[in-house]
Amino acid sequence: MSHALQDPRPVKPRSSAPSSLTRGGLPRWAPAAIAALSALLGAGIGAVAGLESRMQWGLIAALLFVGITYTASSVVENRRQAKDRVATSLVWVCFLLAVVPLLSLLGVTIARGIKVLDGYFLSHSMAGVAGFAPGGGVYHALLGTIEQVLLATAIAAPIGLLTAVYLVEYGRGRLAKAVTFFVDVMTGIPSIVAGLFILTTWTLMLEQGPSGFAGSLALSILMMPVVVRSTEEMLKLVPNELREASLALGVPKWRTILKVVLPTAIGGISTGVMLAVARIAGETAPIMLLVFGNPLINDNPFEGAQSSLPLYIWEQYKVGSEDSFDRAWAAALVLIAFVMILNLVARGIARWKAPKTGR
């Protein structure tokens, strides 16, 4: 993974006879000590100055850390070493800055979501529950999400798979180049634009009412390029010798692809599809435009408005009462769990089915 440049710092500086090769150096524990000192000072300054936000305490501590490191290293070592140390600490700070929001987001969602999350919440809809009142559940939304995502996968996975097969096994010339380029560009389509597109065609032109299926159509547009990209990568990993061996036996190309190439890559392909599913499961905007939302259980995705987890969170958030916030957090927790499980399973498959190379 990384090719970290491992430069063990000299163990103990000072004292050894001065020469061209040795230099003064901070002891190995210096960064840790400076970090602890800055954290203390940061908290102290923050508390004395009456700053409420812990974020500010952290910022002060981080700035102190960089400053003290630079000064100490400049004095004891030299300016180049000081710069190197500052760069190292900045890189560490960047990393911590990224971890803080993730931990906070997970922590807050779990802490607040666990409050109303129970069997009742998972098995009941919002039928007869006023938005600002306690009670109700997420069952109808969970059902809607699962149905919509399955439908979207049923549309997008075959198309995406075949397109990837085309690009890797058949594609030559301009058409293939155009497809490659636009698949990449398609990855960047905002979900709300995909929603608007289905709105213009399905709803406005064909005059269909809101349904889970309409949402699936928009989701499948978002899903296709992701499936194409990941499947393409996997197919490219299949060694050419396998194809040649099969073709040399007189097996036609399409059977070679179906019987040799795809089975070899199936682990990676299913991982890619599941990651794509995880991505679309959290989409709200197209559902809002096309599926409308429904407090009741509607198990038919082809007829009438449905709900979905992300949309449910949005609706509960908009109601704006303490009880609806609780439901929003609980649903967010369910959604994150859903997505994370998909992610973990996908990566598990990837590891389990990873093509074993000879080395």
* Residues between 146 and 185 with contacts to other proteins, criterion CB under 8 A: 158-163, 165-167, 169-172, 175-176, 178-179, 181-185
**Min dist. Cβ of residue 301 to other proteins (A):** 20
Q: In terms of Cα–Cα distance, which of 317, 332, 239, 240 is closest to 282?
A: 332
Site string for other proteins, 130-149 (x = CB under 8 A): --------------------
Q: Which of 38, 191, 216, 294 binds other proteins (CB under 8 A)?
A: 191
Closest to other proteins by CB, 240 vs 357, is 240
Interacting residues with other proteins between 197 and 216 (CB under 8 A): 197, 199-201, 204-205
| One-letter identity of residue 118 | D
CB contact at 8 A, 281 and 339: yes
Half-sphere exposure of 179 (CA within 13 A, CB side): 20
Assigned token pair, 44? 């102290």
Based on the shown chain and the rule CB under 8 A, indicate whether residue 126 belongs to the binding site for other proteins. no
**Min dist. Cβ of residue 270 to other proteins (A):** 17
Residues facing 292 on adjacent strands: 306
Interacting residues with other proteins between 289 and 328 (CB under 8 A): 289, 310, 313-314, 317, 325, 328
Nearest-angstrom CA–CA distance, 20 and 42: 39
Compute CA distances 340 → 110, 230, 336, 343, 351, whole Å. 13, 19, 6, 5, 16
| One-letter identity of residue 136 | G
Site string for other proteins, 31-60 (x = CB under 8 A): --------------------xxx-xx----
Q: Which of 47, 122, 130, 189 binds other proteins (CB under 8 A)?
A: 189
**Min dist. Cβ of residue 355 to other proteins (A):** 19
Based on the shown chain and the rule CB under 8 A, indicate whether residue 27 belongs to the binding site for other proteins. no
Q: Which helix (H) or strand (E) holds 40?
A: helix 30-48
Nearest-angstrom CA–CA distance, 230 and 164: 9
Residues facing 306 on adjacent strands: 292
Based on the shown chain and the rule CB under 8 A, indicate whether residue 233 belongs to the binding site for other proteins. no
Task: Specify the DSSP class assigned to residue 15.
Answer: S
Q: Which of 143, 221, 234, 273 binds other proteins (CB under 8 A)?
A: 221
Site string for other proteins, 72-111 (x = CB under 8 A): --------xx-xx--xx-xxxxxx-xxx-xx-xx--xx--
CB contact at 8 A, 330 and 138: yes
Binding range to other proteins, per CB under 8 A, among 65-73, 136-144, 224-232, 351-359: 224-232
**Min dist. Cβ of residue 302 to other proteins (A):** 21
Closest to other proteins by CB, 268 vs 310, is 310
Assigned token pair, 336? 């994150």
**Min dist. Cβ of residue 326 to other proteins (A):** 11
Kindly report the CA angle at 142 between 141 and 145, in degrees rounded to 5?
85
Compute CA distances 245 → 83, 199, 235, 271, whole Å. 56, 49, 16, 27
- Evaluate the CA torsion angle 344, 348, 354, 359 in order and state its sign: positive
**Min dist. Cβ of residue 189 to other proteins (A):** 7
Closest to other proteins by CB, 204 vs 300, is 204
Nearest-angstrom CA–CA distance, 54 and 134: 32
CB contact at 8 A, 141 and 123: no
- Please work out the total of residues on this chain that contact other proteins, with binding judged by CB under 8 A: 124
Interacting residues with other proteins between 251 and 290 (CB under 8 A): 252-255, 257-258, 278-279, 281-285, 288-289
